[in-house]
Amino acid sequence: MPIRIHPYRLPLKRPWVAAAAILTERRGWLLEVIDENGIVGWGDCAPLPSAGAAHQARCRAALERLAATGAVRLEDPPEVRWAHETAVCDAEAQRRKLPLARMLGASTLEVPVNAALGALDDPCAERARAAATQGYRIGKIKVGIAPIDVELTRLRQVAAASELRLRLDANRAWPEADARRFLDAIVDLPIDGIEEPLADPTCAGLARLQARLPFPIAADESLPRLGLDALIDARAVRRLVIKPARIGGVSPTLTLAQGARDAGIEVVLTSVVDSAVGVAAAAHLAAAIAPHLAHGLATGDWLAEDVAPPLPIVAGRLQLPDAPGIGHPPTARRAIHA
């Protein structure tokens, strides 16, 4: 089964700002897998820059070994395993003449998505107003960047500017006391949830916050360290935010999502300005896992250049192609480097 890797570099239209990092471009590799019938499947391997140069190097070395041997290993970085399984599933769904979402059991080819509003700066209120006019119902905002009192004022301005429900992502910004002060001050606002509020998250600390809030706390980057079972036992969160590339593939993501749902925990899939191929793969998975929740996959407009056009979003719902496989192969060869 021939395997080829294609590096890419995608500049952003504007910086993607979070509490601990600023992105100005996305770099990664498209993985091209050709099966015994000549069917081509695609996957996306895009480790975050925050993972560090050493992890980036491990991913590249694992991809080169995979291309040479055709075999993925359990100890390979999760982003590599995600790209490989995505490409294999893409080819298999094409062979079956089914969209990937249908092969995974989805009953729909569209998923709600939240508007990616960026950081909670002064223009955020105008971006929220624009997103509401485009049909979005939920807007996601990066918080924990400016002082708490400044962000509380800005958040009320955003809430007054539109009828969006607001999904907040703090990226581990605050000590517990600061998180409690911020969250207690916004319980009257239309908050959809808060992601990773604690700088040093523990199950007990998250549970203390969750018990006092009417909206979900979500675990994302703390999930691998704390573990799903411990989060469930402590009743620490009511939502998981899953990046499939961090989980290591389609199958492990489905297994994790099923375990969370069995415990009454919501599952939202998201990307960090991934390429159009990566977003499309995650959207097929989202349609199979939680087709009624808004997922964090509306990030294509942040890219000045992409490997393919973004999937269309109509009234806040991302439209998957009714075509075999992922149905969204790379087309913009200028963004892909030999």
List residues with catalytic annotation. Answer: 142, 243
Please tell me whether residue 9 adopts helix, strand or coil conformation: strand
Residue 6 burial class via C-beta count within 10 angstroms: exposed 0-12, middle 13-18, buried 19 and up: middle
CB count in 10 Å sphere of residue 280: 29
Residues sharing a CB contact under 8 Å with residue 133, sequence separation 6 or more, in sequence order: none
DSSP conformational letter for 211? H
The distance of Cα 43 from the centroid of its chain, to the nearest Å, equals 15
Asked whether the beta carbons of 110 and 292 are under 8 A apart, the reply is no
DSSP conformational letter for 309? P
Strand partners, 32: 4, 42
Asked whether the beta carbons of 49 and 21 are under 8 A apart, the reply is yes
Smallest Cα–Cα separation from 174: which of 152, 150, 147, 155?
Answer: 147
Residues sharing a CB contact under 8 Å with residue 129, sequence separation 6 or more, in sequence order: 161, 162
Asked whether the beta carbons of 152 and 123 are under 8 A apart, the reply is no
